[in-house]
A and B are shown apart, each in its own frame.
Chain A
Amino acid sequence: MTTTRLKLSLNVWSRFARSLRAGLVVVLALAAPPRPAQCDEGPIFEDKLAGVLRQRCGKCHGAETQKANFALHTAAALQKGSETGPVITPGEPDQSRLYEVVATGEMPPRGETSLSAEEQQLLRDWLAGGARFRETTAPSQITQHDVLPIFWLRCTVCHGGRRSEAGLDLRTRASALKGGQGGPALVLGDPGASLLLKRIHAGEMPPKDQLTLAMVKPLESAEIETLTRWIEQGAPEAALLDDRAGQPDDPLVRPSDREFWAFRPPQHTVPLPPKPQNMGLARTPIDLFLLSRLEERGLSFAPLASPETLLRRASFDLTGLPPSPDDLALLEMQLRLLPEGGWDELWSRWVERLLASPRYGERWGRHWLDVAGYADCEGRREQHLPRPFAWKYRDYVIRSLNDDKPYDQFLIEQLAGDDLVDYRQVAVITPEIEDRLVATGFLRMSPDPTWANLTGFVPDRLEVIADSLDVLGGGVLGLTLKCARCHSHKFDPLPQRDYYRLSAVFKGAWDEHNWLKPETAGYGGALNTGLAERLLPQVNSAERREWQTRIAALDQQVAVLQQQPPGPERDEQIRRLTAGKPRDPRLFALWDNGDPSPTWIYRRGDYQNPGPFVEPGVPAVLTSPGQRFDPTPPYPGAFSTGRRLAFARWLTQPDHPLTARVMVNRVWHHHFGQGLVRTLGNFGTMGDRPSHPELLDWLSREFIDRGWSLKELHRLILNSTAWRQSSDISDLAREHDPDRRMVSRQALRRLDAEQLHDTLRLAAGELDPRPYGPADGVRIHPDGLVTTGSRRGLYAQQLRKFPVTLLDSFDLPQMNPNCLARSESLVAPQALHLLNDTGVRELARHAAERVSTVGRDDALTTLVRSFLGRSPTTEELELLRRHQAELFSAFQQQPNTTPDQAERQALQILAHALLNSAPFLYVD
């Protein structure tokens, strides 16, 4: 469908009015018991009750503010109900939500004046008396808004835009009236004569033998009833209220809601804090912010950590690996030659060196992959299906970080890379074009069971969308968006409407009514189900040519063979060649199809209970009042709504209240072990308050002003005194800063899963340094142990069902859907793994063999350096020597053991002990 047509269909929409709620009441009324006869004597709403309710509830549920989309300032508003449906049941006070919330004290909320006993009684009497109004509202009508969601849910997969079986398109009232090859689908006023209903009643539609393939379910009786009555009434249309984002007086989000710290932009000029007493300790503005607060409590920074400690900390922090023995030797030499006061300068050069390492992208890429919920398979545990091309997204992330791609651009590419390039109409797919497409893999990472027949229906798809929005909400926006899926957020000013507006932003790609199924067994031929496939063929042209050349060569070999006389040997050769054909390369990506279905708020999150129609938009509380969301196609002739690009551009405006703060806070968390806001994914009212709000704002502004450069941010932090403190706890600090919120010391941290895995292999000389490319497969042993190849842990195939045991034991997160902060557990199976695992023992043997060629003492020192990332202390060396001698003599007593063998075996045990020791596992 072209953009023009899209606009047309939107215009058609906007001419219609909304009154689904009324329709719903009718539907519910069909199922509900008959109402008691209305009493003519009961109180009238407008007489007294209206005033009481306006006074008690009007602040949040009045003309201006309508929390939970509910107001009671007029009879009509009260009758309309709230976002979850009607709130009054005439004649039945105990069934009326309004009475319930008042009687149970749920409303008015804490801090507001409750209704007095008399007022509550008045409400009760009014409800019991039939809930009479002076002003009567017209009985509601069923309109196209009640009917079209049914068509979308049950019919449009075959009678819609992608496929129009029998020429029938049921996406609009007009197209339904026009009908298909069999004539008009509807006969206005005559349900019995309407082809649509005839086919449904005959049980022919949706066709039973196609249900599983097309992943639709039959119509429910209430839905058929709604259709019947709509046609009976002449298929009325109702005009659409303008619900675009940016109404100047938004009743759901008030100006006061925007006053919360996290919803205001970071301050442009943060006044630097007063000069601390000990100015000499401050190396960067970061230190000024922290010191002034520390000094208020009679505290100061801990002493600087030693250069060796810092190098180990920084290496792990920036590259995920310990310093190499060469690095340590270089540092030692530099320190010997260091002029007085030259350490700061030298240190900043070390920081540069580490930032320039290609290992940096692997380390920080892993942090981002946690946020994205990276996995090499689709479903949850039970619906395991590999994603053969997801690794390109992993590589994209690593490369982007190594290149220090500005964070705003990084986000824009991941949220709307497909809108940045005209990938459908170019002759040559450059690596750059491919990269933009691959970036959108971010939006495809959630666990996705919809490839399987039983888990691919609309509600399953909505779960995938909800997970993906959750990743975006927690990881990028720092908001617990998912709370607003079923009702307006209980604590933050996020109305349910804004959740669905946001989901509409993504609907060009995540459309529960136009779903792309994850690839199953093969790919390259869509199943004949109306559900298209989900891999793009736009790999870069060089790769495709290479593939074509290989295929051509294989085909030719086969052709030659086929000339030969037939025989089992020839046939076997042909079979082998054919089976070995590399598959058509594809991209794991997300793209806009330019033709989204309309978005209705799903009341209580229930897809069978659609509420008001909404347009795409961003959370109102993060915009200034009246700010509109107006996406346009990203370039002429684009097959795209452009909504995601507009969203991404909005997200990366310098004045965005959350984007920079959330990322800066995450970086801080990784450098210090906890964020300035400790709830990395919740900057809302139930989240943590920043310990140093001015520092957070200052860092955010610096981050933006320095071009959203993460490496600049690392520089700022790693050169600060705060980061360079030791992790020693003074008595004073223990007392006045027990949880380290004042940053009175650095953190002592355990190596995380990948750091541990990679360091073990590195020390053993068994770390394959090759970056990028398809994942290292995993091997599942009979006892349940899962192992992988010899590259860094992040290149291991990430299967939800089979996590690599070593990584899993040390808290590799389960991606359901993602992980914002890893936990640090401490259980005996970790020790058992490091003590007894054959693979770990092999690594110890390799490590020992590497150093056994040098002299005894040098061997020990080298061993310690490679495992502990520092030189041994005198005490440690003495300890190791003593045990070495003991081990040597123990091994020598074994039969058939030469002194040389005993020496090597002893060294191997020393290596094994070192990798099991706390100084190996913990970083100061």
Chain B
Amino acid sequence: MTAWNPHDSDSAVSRRAFGLRVSTLLPAAALCSLQGGERPVQAAGSFPVGNPLAPRLAPRPPRARAIIQLFMNGGPSQMDLFDPKPALDAHHGEAYFPKIAGEVENVKDAGALMRSPFRFAQHGDCGMWVSSALPHTARHVDQLALIRSLHTTNITHEPALYLAHSGRMISGHPSLGSWVTWGLGSENQNLPAYVVLDDPLGLPINGVENWSAGYLPANFQGTRFRSQGAAVLNLRPAQPEPEAIPLVRSRLIAALDDLHRRDRPGYEQLSARIASYELAARMQLSAGEALDLSQETAATQALYGIGTEPTDSYGRRCLIARRLVERGVRFIQLYINAQIWDNHTGLAKDMQAACDRTDLPIAGLLTDLEQRGLLDDTLVVWGGEFGRLPIAQLPADKDEQKAGRDHNKNAGVCWFAGGGVKGGVVHGTTDDLGFAAVEDRVGIPDWHATILHLLGLDHLTLAVDHGGLPERLTGVEPARVVTEILP
């Protein structure tokens, strides 16, 4: 199969041909800036030929045009959230560690089989089981395609995160968001194509490497919007200037850059830099508006849990994500600090706390996307880097009341919503105790291939030449699109 390099051929298309999404709820000003995304292109004379972020036609019709990834760093526990295990109740307290000894990181703390401290119930028309920890997500099960058979290859956070983000267990490879935006460009030229909304309380494990462009051009790395203080610093100058000045200045900068680049043929980063200045200039016009949550009604803010603890911070990020999707940003990645899902101890309390911070905002996001007609072509992806074990992990004092669960690479859970996936389906099964995925197993490469597929990309052909080798997100691993969740 031949590699499809979106930047080799003239596959860029105008946004209109690509299919403009216009939300009727957008204020007029926003519409202007949306349309501005294509207008100033040639007029300002500054748009480089082959704009790297220009929207590109996917090789086949996409089901989703944008993606919001809700990354749950730490490894959410499948048997306490989405994968009920009655057998765990039956065998609670029985020894099991010896059977899985090689799969347990903290051998010393390994306890007996542990039932979930949460109660499960069926929800929605589809009757999907969800635990009492996620009452709000439970209202949306008819929109979810749940995968219970996710598995990965490493039980340590760092390599597992690298794998989930870039398809390799080591750093230096492009992240999923970089691949997607490299493949498709962006529908909004006034905002970065790939936006990262990290938690002001701290970066996830592996820090900024999670959204690195690796060996893809630097324009495709994730741009962090801050969620504390101003989302983007220095969006506009503090002191106003006479109207003509900014334009003259940008023209001069562009002209100086052009001379500089002309004398240095072959340096891709110089073109990338020019593009980043142009993007910055356009962001000045539209980013402030895009990130201004005060434009949202009180009802909408409440829907996301903004203004209430513990949901305020994550709710803001979810609402910003919706506003960015509305404006055509291709890939938005949400993080939460300090591995809140890494519940080695205190599962009952700490996992509930993690749910409490995220459940309502996520449900709000799904509701809001749907009511604005955005969910059909926006893919929402939820999941972490691995799952957890069916046995207890005991704290040092062996107090079972405070038990947690250790990392598990053999089973984990993730879900998709919107973006053309079937709602209310459950794919894959784990064994009776939830230790390992046994049927319809979905590996990380499969998961990546499915996301690319939904966006109209093909994991086999989306490839770039790197050091003489065609590199792909899924590498040389066999990968299969999970067609069972497609209509």
Contact = CB atoms under 8 A, between A and B. Distances in A.
State whether these chains interact: yes
Interface of A: 32-33, 85, 89, 92, 94-95, 97, 100, 217-218, 220-221, 381-382, 604, 606, 608-609, 727-729, 734, 738-739, 748, 750, 781-785, 805, 814, 816, 823-833, 835-838, 841, 873, 875-876, 879-880, 883, 886-887, 890-891, 893-894, 909-910, 912-914, 916-919, 921-922, 924
B221 A825 contact: yes
Nearest to B282: A828
B348 interface: no
B276 A831 contact: yes
A214 to B, nearest CB: 16
Contacts of B281: 831, 835
A85 B192 CA distance: 52
Contacts of B265: 729
Contacts of A829: 223-224, 232-234, 280
A608 B99 CA distance: 22
Q: Which are the 6 A-B pairs with shortest beta-carbon distances?
A: A784-B229, A831-B280, A826-B218, A917-B256, A836-B234, A729-B266
Interface in B71-102: 95, 98-99, 101-102
B230 interface: yes
Contact of A832 (B95, B273, B280, B396): B280
Contacts of A887: 245, 248
Interface string B386-430: 000000000011100000000000000000000000000000000
Given A33-B98, A826-B219, A875-B259, A784 B276 contact: no
Contact of B223 (A814, A827, A836, A922): A827
A132 to B, nearest CB: 20
Chain B CB within 10 A, most for which of A728, A824, A836, A924: A836
A97 B103 CA distance: 11
B356 to A, nearest CB: 20
B276 A826 contact: yes
B264 A727 contact: yes
Contacts of B273: 826, 918, 921
A832 B202 contact: no
Contacts of B267: 729, 748
Nearest to A805: B233
B260 A918 contact: yes
A89 B223 contact: no
A784 B237 contact: no
A120 to B, nearest CB: 17
A738 B468 CA distance: 10
A475 to B, nearest CB: 18
Interface of B: 95, 98-99, 101-102, 106-108, 192, 201-203, 207-208, 212, 218-219, 221, 223-224, 226, 228-230, 232-239, 242, 244-245, 248-249, 251-253, 255-257, 259-261, 264-267, 269-270, 272-274, 276-277, 279-281, 283-284, 338, 396-398, 467
Given A828-B223, A828-B283, A838-B237, A95 B101 contact: yes
A918 B102 contact: no
B396 to A, nearest CB: 6
Contact of A910 (B219, B234, B252): B252
B398 A92 contact: no
Given A382-B202, A828-B276, A32 B229 contact: no
Given A832-B280, A879-B255, A97 B234 contact: no
Contacts of B244: 890
Nearest to A835: B280
A886 B192 CA distance: 32
Contact of A833 (B234, B284, B397): B234
B397 A381 contact: no
Contacts of B219: 826
B269 A784 contact: no
A816 B99 CA distance: 37
A825 B257 contact: no
B354 to A, nearest CB: 17
Contacts of B230: 783-785
B108 A606 contact: yes
A832 B284 contact: yes
B197 to A, nearest CB: 14
Contacts of B280: 828-832, 835
A909 B255 contact: no
A816 B205 CA distance: 11
Given A32-B98, A33-B98, A727-B264, A912 B223 contact: no
Contact of B95 (A33, A734, A738, A891): A33
Contacts of A890: 242, 244-245, 248
Given A97-B102, A918-B273, A782 B229 contact: yes
Contacts of B101: 95, 97
Given A32-B95, A89-B98, A916-B249, 14 more contacts: A32-B98, A97-B101, A217-B396, A783-B229, A785-B230, A826-B219, A826-B269, A828-B277, A832-B235, A879-B256, A883-B248, A883-B251, A918-B273, A921-B273
Chain B CB within 10 A, most for which of A606, A784, A827, A914: A827
Contacts of B238: 836, 838
A734 B267 CA distance: 11
Contacts of A910: 252
B242 A894 contact: yes
A828 B229 CA distance: 18
B276 A879 contact: no
A847 to B, nearest CB: 15
Nearest to B237: A836
B226 A879 contact: no
B248 A916 contact: no
9 contacts: A95-B99, A220-B396, A825-B208, A827-B276, A832-B232, A835-B284, A873-B259, A876-B259, A879-B255
Given A606-B106, A922-B270, A891 B264 contact: no
Contacts of A827: 192, 218, 221, 223-224, 276
B436 to A, nearest CB: 14
Nearest to A873: B259
Nearest to B238: A838
Contacts of A893: 242
Contact of B249 (A606, A828, A913): A913
A828 B251 contact: no
Given A220-B397, A909-B245, A608 B235 contact: no
A688 to B, nearest CB: 12
A653 B276 CA distance: 49
Contacts of A886: 248
A838 B233 CA distance: 11
A485 B234 CA distance: 45
Contacts of A841: 237, 239
Contact of A919 (B237, B252, B256): B256
A381 B205 CA distance: 13
B284 A836 contact: yes
A217 B395 CA distance: 12
Nearest to A606: B108
A910 B253 CA distance: 9
B313 to A, nearest CB: 14
Contacts of A879: 252, 255-256, 259
Contacts of B245: 887, 890-891, 909
Contacts of A826: 218-219, 221, 269, 272-273, 276
A873 B256 CA distance: 11
A913 B266 contact: no
Contacts of B218: 824-827
A831 B257 CA distance: 13
Contacts of B203: 814
Contacts of B277: 828, 831, 916
Contacts of A914: 256
A770 B99 CA distance: 66
A918 B273 CA distance: 8
Nearest to B244: A890
Nearest to B233: A785
Contacts of A830: 276, 280
Contact of B261 (A604, A782, A873, A918): A918
